[in-house]
Every structure is written in structure tokens, then in C-alpha cells.
Amino acid sequence: MARAEAVILLTRKYLREGDVALLEALAARLEVQAPGAPSDAGGQD
């Protein structure tokens, strides 16, 4: 994703269909996690 696309996506007031998937992919690429998001516990409870 280009920098300009990411800025538009992050500053948009309303999310469009597919935006959540793009944000999740971007977060995974940057190795960040949003507060309250499920963590990858490796199968542990």
C-alpha cells in the first residue's frame, strides 16, 4: 500500500467495505496491534 493510500484510509471519517481488511493487513505488516484486539497467543488460553 502506498503511503498516500494509507493516509487517506486512516483519515477517512467513514470506513468503506474492505477498509478493515486493509487496516488489518497494514497493522500486520507493521507488526502493531490495536488495544483490545485479539492477540496471537499461539493456541494458549
Global pTM value: 0.54
The reported pLDDT for the residue numbered 42 is: 52
Domain range annotation of the chain: 1-31
Instruction: Report the alpha-carbon distance of residue 3 to residue 28 in Å, rounded.
Output: 16
What's residue 15's pLDDT? 80
Please state, in angstroms and rounded to a whole number, the distance separating the CA atoms of residues 31 and 16.
23
* The predicted structure's pLDDT at residue 2: 78
Q: Tell me which long-range contacts 20-26 makes (C-beta under 8 A, separation of at least 24).
A: 25/1, 26/1
Stretches in the chain below the pLDDT threshold 50:
43, 45
Question: Which pLDDT belongs to residue 31?
Answer: 86
